[in-house]
Chain A
Amino acid sequence: MSGAPGIRGHRVSGAPGIQDVARVCAALDRRAFLRGLGLAAGAGLLPTGCDDAPGQFAPAPDQELLHLTPRSYAVLTAAAERIVGGRGADWIRSRQVDPGAHADAFLAAAPAFAPPLEQALLALEFAVFPLIGKLRPFTSLSEAGRDAVLSELAGSRLELKRMLFGGVRAISLLGFYSARETHALIGYPDPDQVGGATIRDAMTYPLDW
């Protein structure tokens, strides 16, 4: 198995899932610095080419996005690859699973979450320099570079940075694990799966098992 190396050095308890997307959004939404960063990015005040989504992680040319911008889609995809880790990272890289598309669909159903998450993704894209001292956007970093940024956020003493990581982690895992095709990766049996685990398997066992 050629999995992503993962984020080493820091174990984090982020907060994905729908409830935790809400939780993290609430925190991020109140952070003026994130809003400022988002505005600055939008105005092209931050370094490096901010106009187009990096090709490696960009949405397909004919892909219609309802809430995410091409750039925030790319940031999410780049982050999700590292956050999901393992074989899931391979699946994201090979586009077998598209967490950006699933996250976009989620935001279409819950549009209130879109602005803070957009800000969080932009902040991640353009906050590389203060975190690891490189003047490059997150999406142009190597796998190791992206891991370093995420680790810096996750293990930060500053709550704001940890919350930023929590927000990106939340939407990444939501985007990935809400895709039905990921069930095979984690052994979750689909109802129409032949030969998979059954309810009976869950209900029978030796009493001292």
Chain B
Amino acid sequence: MSRHLRSEAVVIGSGAGGGPAAAALAESGLDVLVLEAGPRLSARDFSADESEMRLRLGRALTTADAGQSLYAGRCVGGSTVINDCLCWRTPPEVLDSWRREYGLVDLDDVNFGSFVERVWRDVHAEPTDRSHINRNAHRLELGARRLGWAAGPMWRNVRGCAGLGRCNFGCPIDAKQSSLVTWVPRAERAGARVLANARVDRIRVEAGAVAGVDVTTLHPDTGAPLAALRVDAPRVCLAAGVLASGSLLQRSGIAPHASGRGLQFHSSVYVTGRFREPVHGYFGPTMAYAISEFSNVNGHAGPGYMLENTAVQPLQTASVLPDAGELHARAMAALPHLAHTVVVLRDHTRGRVETRRDGSVQIHHALGDDDLARLRHGMTRAAQAYLAADAVEVHLPVHGYGPVRNESDLERLALIPLDRSRLSLVYAVHLFGGAVMGGRREGSVCAPDGACWDVRGLYVTDASGLPSNTGVNPQITVMANALRVAAGIA
């Protein structure tokens, strides 16, 4: 038998887009119900078991052509539970582009900036001081310094980070100020209810206005369907994550001309350096230092990517190292001496989300030649940074490419065709679009205030509403936009 709930506002999702919206709406006095498809875990549930935690906290996906992997958070707190705590203000070039090209006229440094500053304060973004630059990050720092490249420590939303190196598996000491420990508890203190293991199947629309959502509750351990739940609500904030939000609109028959479209990634590849001295890259902040020399935002005019150090965990390292057999074993045996850098590309490629008849999501996104060329450029620069920092050898994630020991070993890279099967390790680390805001109804799902053009009472507050990628880690931008949209609802 179907259960029935009522609420003044439903928020679908509890991550960077849902958490702030829920807190803002609840604090404005609305009765808020947060529906999260994933389980609710807490610090005591977060173990150091890499494979177990990745399975419990998120889900792995792939693009339709199998060219790129994705990993999306699926738990209370969403991807903020498994991200690397990195905080960047929205670059002015991005806001300028959104105003000029997409008609988001209010998103200027003053209006939007005020929400960014609120988020910055509320999630406790702080600079990474010297004591939190681990050896892994320092190797990238040293390379950048010797090559004269623009670089620096990144800001992180942490309180009392102990350097456990487990940001991606859930912080076991709640040092990370994820939505799980900031926005969601804040919403609950203001009276919001949070229902975990609750998958929204459809947004109900009656006479052009949102009427509520149809939900299936899921078994907390197996994810098996348990019961149907009907929720009536005159306001719904969609923040299920880029893939799920676009798909949910499609399943609900909302904005079929634009839902699922405008998908854009930050694509990434890993470059691994091996050093004579131990690096112990599994300890310390998982990410802390960035080379911004090749970025095309924040005043830089490079090809459009960042180089950021990232943690060295066993399973992940086995994944990103090339080769097999003896060569792979030898590289793995040097784990304590390895450092990772991830090339985070501001893609040009656009894709789309498609919902199949069985309800599953298909991601159509094939990296274009220009993006592949820039990834190749990024791999080269990351390898150069490690060589400048005295790496014994560098491993590139390219089929048939051996360890790089000097600059001349990099010359062959230009000759290798980087199609999807040769450059197999491409991860989409940040996702945007699928329910984009725009100044005109054509080509967009929402108006600039986040309100759905076609359905009264429906709002988009996650990264699916953003019309393009940002060139920097986007959690602050997503949270700020969620607060901005919520301020217009309450």
Contact = CB atoms under 8 A, between A and B. Distances in A.
A198 B282 CA distance: 10
Contacts of A194: none
A30 to B, nearest CB: 8
A12 B135 contact: no
Interface in B48-85: 48-52, 54-55, 60-64, 66-71
Nearest to A176: B318
Contacts of A183: 314
A207 B425 CA distance: 32
A136 interface: no
A162 interface: yes
B236 interface: no
A197 B314 CA distance: 15
B66 A82 contact: no
A4 B329 CA distance: 10
Interface string A10-49: 1111111111111111110000000000000000000000
A86 B319 contact: no
A159 B421 contact: yes
Interface of B: 48-52, 54-55, 60-64, 66-71, 131-132, 134-136, 138, 142, 162-165, 277-284, 314-316, 318-320, 322-330, 332-336, 397-402, 421-425, 427
Interface in A164-200: 166, 169-170, 173-174, 176-178, 180, 182-183, 185-189, 191, 197-199
In the complex, the 9 A-B pairs of residues with the closest C-beta atoms, listed nearest first: A6-B325, A86-B329, A6-B326, A17-B319, A27-B66, A202-B283, A22-B60, A19-B69, A202-B280
Given A18-B54, A87-B329, A203 B134 contact: yes
Contact of B51 (A18, A147, A191, A197): A18
29 contacts: A6-B326, A7-B326, A11-B400, A12-B324, A13-B397, A13-B423, A13-B425, A16-B315, A16-B318, A19-B62, A19-B319, A22-B60, A23-B424, A26-B63, A82-B324, A83-B325, A89-B329, A109-B52, A150-B325, A154-B324, A169-B324, A177-B318, A178-B315, A185-B333, A187-B335, A197-B280, A199-B165, A202-B280, A202-B281
A6 B399 contact: no
B326 A17 contact: no
Given A88-B329, A178-B50, A199-B163, A162 B277 contact: no
Given A18-B51, A205-B135, A209-B138, A187 B333 contact: yes
Given A26-B62, A174-B315, A197-B280, A85 B399 contact: no
B330 A86 contact: yes
A106 interface: yes
A163 B351 CA distance: 23
B383 to A, nearest CB: 15
A90 to B, nearest CB: 10
Interface of A: 3-8, 10-27, 82-89, 106, 109-110, 147, 150, 154-155, 159, 162-163, 166, 169-170, 173-174, 176-178, 180, 182-183, 185-189, 191, 197-199, 201-203, 205, 207-209
A188 B282 contact: yes
A15 B134 contact: no
Contacts of B336: 187-188, 197
A154 B64 CA distance: 22
A189 B136 CA distance: 16
A3 B332 CA distance: 14
Contact of A199 (B54, B138, B162, B327): B162
Contact of A203 (B70, B131, B318, B326): B131
Contact of A6 (B48, B66, B277, B324): B324
Contact of A202 (B54, B279, B314, B333): B279
Given A12-B322, A85-B328, 9 more contacts: A6-B329, A11-B323, A16-B318, A17-B316, A19-B319, A84-B325, A88-B332, A188-B336, A202-B279
Contact of B424 (A166, A174, A199): A166
B326 A15 contact: no
A176 B427 CA distance: 22
A177 B313 CA distance: 10
B324 A3 contact: no
A203 B334 CA distance: 19
Nearest to B130: A207
Given A13-B399, A26-B66, A201-B278, A177 B314 contact: yes
Contact of A85 (B326, B397, B425): B326
B62 A22 contact: yes
A11 B327 contact: yes
Nearest to A185: B333
A18 B62 contact: no
Contacts of B328: 6, 83-85, 173
Contacts of B326: 3-8, 85-86
Contacts of A207: 138
Contact of A23 (B62, B316, B318, B401): B62
Contact of B319 (A84, A154, A162, A173): A173
A159 B65 CA distance: 12
A61 B71 CA distance: 37
A174 B51 contact: yes
B400 A12 contact: yes
Contacts of A89: 329
A17 B278 contact: no
Contacts of B162: 199
B283 A199 contact: yes
A183 B62 CA distance: 29
Nearest to B325: A6
Nearest to B61: A22
Nearest to B398: A13
Contacts of B142: 208-209
A51 B436 CA distance: 54
Contacts of B399: 11-13, 162
B280 A147 contact: no
A8 B402 CA distance: 12
B278 A15 contact: no
Nearest to B316: A17
By CB atoms of chain A within 10 A, which of B131, B281, B324 has the most?
A: B324
A85 B325 CA distance: 4
Nearest to A83: B324
A17 B136 contact: no
